[in-house]
Structure 1
Amino acid sequence: MGTSLPEYRRLWPSALAGDPAGPMPARRSTRDWGVDTLCFLLGLGLTVWVTLDLLNPEPTLVRPGATPYWLVLTDGVASVIAAVGLWWRRRFLAGLAAYVLLLSFFSVAAGLTLLIVIFTIGVHRRFAVLAGYVALAVLANGVFTMVRPEADLSDGETFWWGNVMMMSAASWGMLVRARRQLIVSWRDRAERAESEQRLRIAQARVLERTRIAREMHDVLAHRISLLSLHAGALEFRPSAPPEEIAGAAAVIRSSAHQALQDLRAVIGVLRTGQPEDEQTPERPQPTLSALPMLADESRAAGVNVRLEIGPAPDNVPAATGRAAYRIIQEGLTNARKHAPGTAVRVAVGGAAGDGLTIEIRNPIPVLVPAPAIPGTGVGLIGLAERALLAGGWLSHGRIDDEFVLTAWLPWQA
């Protein structure tokens, strides 16, 4: 009974928290309309049926002649009012509960209405409120047993069965309330898990950008040192032959051009990332020329690597080679984690002007083992960010019975 969970949580969060004074829902959901209609019809229908039975000279619910005529009429009218009040039981629960509690001292016709009210209190109020109300209802049931003796039951049986039905309604209401709170807690945990995953992804991107910036620092230092060396040579030998001066100038121009490109890459990374922390710069990073050594290391670790390199490593720009090396390194690491014992094929191709292509393939094992090597689960996200910052792209996924990682990096002519 009650509103659906999304509406309930949005319109009445204080009820879930156990606040007895929390605001009621302003609107009924479709489910609320159905439940309220059913409660209203059941409460009103049973009230009318019981009242008509009590007006009969030979009633079946109470002992004949035990109830005066005026009390039967009073019970019927008051119980009809209580049954109509079930239609607004959520908004005016406190007033309706107090009214029905007074009726329970003498009313037979309001029995089902009392059970519905107890159930509603169990759903929408904390346990202390429910326990206090049920205790008063048990006291009222003791008075009712003496005022309205039933036809086929003794006073003890009437008192006992009344208490059993009230306890059952209260238990059902607490069960519904606990289930709703459990669903809300599950939803909160799912939302927190999604937020934490988004945070981990953002942190992985920032760390990848920062690491790229540190790598660029070493490259820029190398190129600027070349500029300084050749400029110094021209300064100390102004009378050198024209051929040497032209050669040095060409080297200076080429190094300056490369330094500017690397500087743009660094600035692009730092604009979207966080400032670089105060750490010692790392040593120069490997490029495509180090791929055979990387393959040998993987083979020594038990991975059957088949390496195919199309272009000459020395012809590939350093920045592109570094990014390609990191992509292949992470791809081999993933294969070692998730597909141990399988053969891995690494193919590098392309040409200047067309770009550099990387493809890593490995069969998917029939039984996927739990990774023996711990990881954060964001390695591929960092690689995709690296490829994007380099002007390329990266994709990965299952094709037939193989896991395929494909990347493309720009390679200017």
Structure 2
Amino acid sequence: MTSAVVVEHPGLLPGSLGTTRRHPRRTTRDWLVDSFCFLVSVGWVLGATADAASPDPLLAERLPYAWMVAADAWLGLGCAGALWVRRRWPLGLALATLPLTMFSMAAGIPLLVIYFTVVVHRRTAVALAITAAGLVTNMFFTLLRPEPDDSYWASTVWGVVIALLVLAWGMFVRARRQLVLSLRERAERAEAEQQLRVAQARQLERTRIAREMHDVLAHRISLLSLHAGALEFRPDAPAEEVARAAGVIRGSAHAALQDLREVIGVLRAENSLAVEPERPQPTIADLPALVGESRAAGVRVDLRDEVRAADRLPAALGRTAYRIVQEGLTNARKHATGAAVTVELRGAPTDGLTVEIRNRWPVGETAEPIPGAGTGLVGVAERVQLAGGRLEHGRDGTGDFRLAAWLPWPAT
């Protein structure tokens, strides 16, 4: 019966699941498993040889010639030693040892280990082909090494059962390893995707903060330029007025430097968690202070606020309106120095919010123009588009420059 076991299973070694691995490094677990398989195989070879050479006819399984016992023992030891390389050449080793399954009792356990390795580490089609070949050789084994107490068919059936059990066990182990590998790859992929999402979110946040700071800095620097220009063109101004303008310039410069320091710190930070919390963003309620800054710089600004239910205005919508007005005032100071500016806001829930900034088109040469990147209106257009609104800018029928935006304002 044990002979039948040996016969049917040539095999392969553990490698990769369905694919060939290039000389994988043997782990501690692999060393332990291989050592155990080798020792069990050697023990089986010694036990089977002792039984075959026993003088007791009830224990001995006599071979026609005495030298066959020794030859079978050497074949069994050779197969046991081959277990150390079965991980590298599984299929080749299985095919090379396949003829031994027809007659060798001593090589039974090593051949089963090789066969199990094939099932675990090779495709199902390969495993089934090796199994079919082993079942054929098992039939010859039962003829050449018959069991004294069992019939031919009983021994053959036992060999088939053992082969199928090893096949089922190997396929289960392979399926489990594939599942574990798939779950590990999925977890690694999910972790990589999460890191990518975090990096993208961090980059988007830094870009947003940089855009916000661009708007703020452009506004403050335009105020600085306006005050400095007033001092340049009025060197005979009263001392109190000069001191007041100098104080405004100093305060605006200090605020601009603080804003610049913050945005550079954000863009340089490797870990967004290390950045200090962002300052509260301005909303429509901060528009009077923004207009006050421009008035303090000498710009004539008329603010008309006709917004109904302003307390229900979403914060994001109010922030967008604030940035539109800020950009409009900055452009007026840059390109229409001395011109009066009208800022008008009107709207209500469900009707939408309309923001309009209007100033006279400059006539003749203006003071030295304030340099700019020319991307302010592009940024405003992007904000309005993200909010789902519409933006218009340019000269209207009266010749004024008009910057107008409509933003949707949901009822809830």
Give the aligned length. 268
Give unmatched runs, 5+ long, in structure 2: 1-13, 271-280, 288-310, 314-412
What residue in structure 2 maps to residue 404 of structure 1?
none
Q: Is 1:226–1:255's contact at 8 Å kept on the other side of the alignment?
A: yes
What's the counterpart of residue 18 of structure 2?
18
- Structure 1 residues 214 and 86, CA, compared in 2 at 3 Å: closer, same or farther? closer
Name the structure 1 match of 2:45: 47
Offset at 1:286?
Answer: 4.0
SS at 2:178's partner residue?
A: helix
Question: Superposed, which structure 2 residues align to 1:355-366 within 5 Å?
Answer: none
Where does 1:368-383 land on structure 2 (aligned, <5 Å)?
none
Alpha-carbon distance change, 165 to 233 in structure 1, aligned in 2, over 3 angstroms: same
Q: Is this contact kept in 2: 1:100–1:113, CA < 8 A?
A: no
Give the aligned partner of residue 35 of structure 1.
Answer: 33
Contact 1:79 1:107 in 2 (8 A): yes
Identity of aligned residues (%): 54
* Counterpart-to-counterpart distance in 1, 2:137 and 2:171: 22
Distance 1:182 1:194 in 2: 18
| Aligned-partner SS, 2:15 | helix
Provide the residue aligned with 1:328 in structure 2. none
Q: In structure 1, what is the equivalent of residue 346 of structure 2?
A: none
After the TM superposition, which residues 243-262 of structure 1 pair with which residues of structure 2 at under 5 Å, given as runs? 243-262=240-259
Residues 148 and 137 from structure 1, CA distance in 2 versus in 1: closer, same or farther, beyond 3 angstroms? Answer: same
**Contact 2:17 2:122 (C-alpha < 8 Å) held by counterparts:** no
C-alpha deviation, 1:122, in angstroms? 1.6
Q: Would you say 1:192 and 2:189 are equivalent positions?
A: yes
The question of whether the paired residues in 1 share the 8 Å contact of 2:52 and 2:63 is answered with no
* Secondary structure at 1:201 match in 2: helix
> Could you tell me the TM-score, scaled by structure 2's length?
0.56
Local SS of the residue matching 1:107: coil
Using a 3 Å threshold, how does the CA distance of structure 1 residues 251 and 86 change in structure 2: closer, same or farther?
Answer: closer
**Amino acid of the residue matched to residue 216 of structure 2?**
V
Q: Where does residue 74 of structure 2 map in the other structure?
A: 77
CA contact (8 A) 1:150 1:158 kept: yes
What is the aligned partner in structure 2 of residue 162 from structure 1? Answer: 159
- Report the Cα offset of residue 139 of structure 1: 0.9
Contact conserved, 1:104 with 1:137, CA < 8 A, in 2? yes
Alpha-carbon deviation of 1:270?
4.7
In the TM superposition, 1:209-288 aligns within 5 A as 209-235=206-232, 237-270=234-267, 285-286=282-283
What are the residue-to-residue correspondences of 1:87-166 with 2, within 5 Å? 87-166=84-163
Deviations 1:299-333 (A, max 9, x none): xxxxxxxxxxxxxxxxxxxxxxxxxxxxxxxxxxx
1:183 counterpart = 2:189: no
Structure 1 residue 50: Cα displacement: 2.0
CA shift in 2, pair 1:165/1:220, >3 Å:
same
SS of the residue corresponding to residue 213 of structure 2 reads helix
**Paired AA for residue 169 in structure 1:** V
Tell me the SS of whatever aligns to 1:159: helix
Partners of 1:240 and 1:92 in 2: how far apart? 96
Larger RCO, structures 1/2 (Cα 8 Å, 6+ apart)? 2
Asked whether the equivalents of residues 61 and 151 of structure 1 are also in contact (C-alpha less than 8 Å), the reply is: no
- Distance verdict in 2 for CA 1:208–1:65, change over 3 Å: closer
1:146-191 deviation line (CA, Å, top 9, x unaligned): 2221112111111111011112122222222222222222222222
Shift of 1:87: 3.7
Residues 61, 124 of structure 1: CA spacing in aligned structure 2 closer, same or farther, 3 A cutoff?
A: farther
TM-superposed CA distance for 1:117, in Å, is 1.3
Residues 102 and 60 of structure 1, relative CA distance in 2, 3 Å threshold? farther
- Unaligned runs of 5+ residues in structure 1 are 1-13, 274-283, 291-295, 299-413
Output one character per residue of 1:251-307: Cα deviation in whole Å (capped at 9) or x when no partner. Answer: 22322332233234344445669xxxxxxxxxx7249989xxxxx879xxxxxxxxx
When the two chains are superposed, the root-mean-square deviation of aligned CA atoms in Å is 3.3
Query: Measured at CA, do residues 168 and 234 of structure 1 come closer, stay the same or move farther in structure 2, by a change above 3 Å?
Result: same
Segments ≥4 residues shifted beyond 6 Å: 287-290
Q: 1:238 to 1:127 in 2, by over 3 A?
A: same
Question: Cα offset for 1:71?
Answer: 3.8
* Structure 1 SS opposite 2:150: coil
Distance in 1 separating the partners of 2:75 and 2:263: 81
Q: Deviations over 1:189-211 (max 9, x none)?
A: 22222222222222222222222
> Contact between 2:17 and 2:121, CA under 8 Å: does it hold in 1?
no
Give how far 1:121 is off.
Answer: 1.3
Contact 1:79/1:103, CA 8 A, preserved across alignment: no
Q: CA deviation at 1:36?
A: 1.9
- Secondary structure of the 2:103 match is coil
State how 1:324-403 maps to structure 2 within 5 Å: none
Which whole-Å CA distance do the structure 2 matches of 1:30 and 1:108 have between them?
31
